[in-house]
Amino acid sequence: MKYAFSLFVAMLLAGVAIAQQPSVKELIPKAKWTKEQIENPPARVLKMNLRAEPIKEVLREASRPIFGERTFMVTIILDIPKIEGRPRSNEWSRYLDRSKLPMGNFSDGYLLLPEITYGRTSHEKNATQLKYLLTQAPEGSIDKETVAFFKSPEASSKVFGFSGRISLSNGVFLQEFRILCKSKEECERCAKGLMTLLDYGFSRPLQLRLLQKREELVAEIATARKQLVENEKELTQVDKRLTEFKDFTPEMLPTLRQQQIALDVDLAGTMARIKACEALLAATRPALSADRRASVEDTKIQAEINLAGYQAQRITLLEFVSQVKEKIILSDRRNLLRSDLNVLRKVLESRPGLIQEIDADLDFVAPLKVADDQFVVQPIEWTTP
């Protein structure tokens, strides 16, 4: 009764301690992004900044078939903020197929990965990136003329280009895209079409994979929290059980084993003595004298008394051995529970921080901000060399 009451009190105290720990809801940072938000990015509102001053460029005769009709250039600049101390692009690359969409290092100011060879961008990589981005945009999200332009060899060769540069004034990386077009209207379509491609082909898949990782971490926290509660309750019970074996130590087991062996030897010898006495008493020839018979009977009685004592000792030794073994098992279980609890506590301590990092990444790769929410259109004035 006393043990039951003590166990009840211990479990009650453990329950109070567990109740004081933060709940799963308290551990997990509030989610800002949902799958529905990511799947349906808000429509962009971009203004056209039409500049009258032309850009003067030299047009060689060999390039006239490609550039001659393209008398306007649209420039789109993306503001890419830097996450101090955490260049994440290497980690993000796991979430996208690099063979289809090579990623640049954000800390170098690149959104996509321009292969620079003697100051020029690899047109083959341009074509690969555009092809991939076009597969990600929903049907009808970009007009057919713009889709056809982005699929054309011209778009991925000399007409479409991008580079990265740093704005030293505010530490923001600027990703600059330039497209040569035939009219102001085409400039507007291409600028808006490009941002749609980036929203659906870059931001959305990255955000969805990051959100999936976030959900995995949330599930891990919930599982760890539940397991922590169960393990702490079990540890309380194990600690209480171990108090029953405070007089026993694992070091006692070898001594008890030796005593069992010695006792088994004594038992075997005593039983043999009893059988020998029984055989003598049962023999008809030669007949035992009265004194001899009395002596054998006394020896048999003494052996039987000794046997009863040995059997009682044997039972007690078995109980001691069983209790020592039980204490060893409980001690091992306690050590395992403590080790598991340390792991679970580390999970509960570290995962919220990882979720906060993912939340920062979700914001970072959200539909990318266009500088001043505008694209710049300028006429091109081609000159002969």
Residue-range domain boundaries for the chain: 8-221+361-383
Q: Cα angle vertex 374, ends 360, 132, to 5°?
A: 60
Q: What is residue 108's predicted lDDT score, i.e. its pLDDT? A: 42
Amino acid at 247: D
How many other CB atoms sit within 10 Å of the CB of residue 237?
A: 16
Residue 378 has pLDDT above 80, yes or no: yes
Question: What contacts 109, CB < 8 A, 6 or more positions away?
Answer: 80, 164, 165, 166, 173, 174, 175
Place of tokens 């008398």: 71
pLDDT band at 364 (very low <50, low <70, confident <90, very high): confident
- pLDDT averaged over the chain? 79
Question: CA 50 to CA 187: how far, in whole Å?
Answer: 10
Q: What is residue 50's DSSP assignment?
A: E
Q: Using alpha carbons, list the distances in angstroms from residue 108 to 88, 163, 174.
A: 12, 10, 10
85-107: pLDDT as tens digits = 444 554 555 555 555 554 444 43
Q: Which two tokens stand for residue 293?
A: 């018979």
Q: What is residue 171's predicted lDDT score, i.e. its pLDDT? A: 59
Q: What is residue 231's predicted lDDT score, i.e. its pLDDT? A: 95
Q: What is residue 105's predicted lDDT score, i.e. its pLDDT? A: 42
Residue 147 has pLDDT above 80, yes or no: yes
212-271: pLDDT as tens digits = 999 999 999 999 999 999 999 999 999 998 888 887 787 887 887 888 888 888 889 989
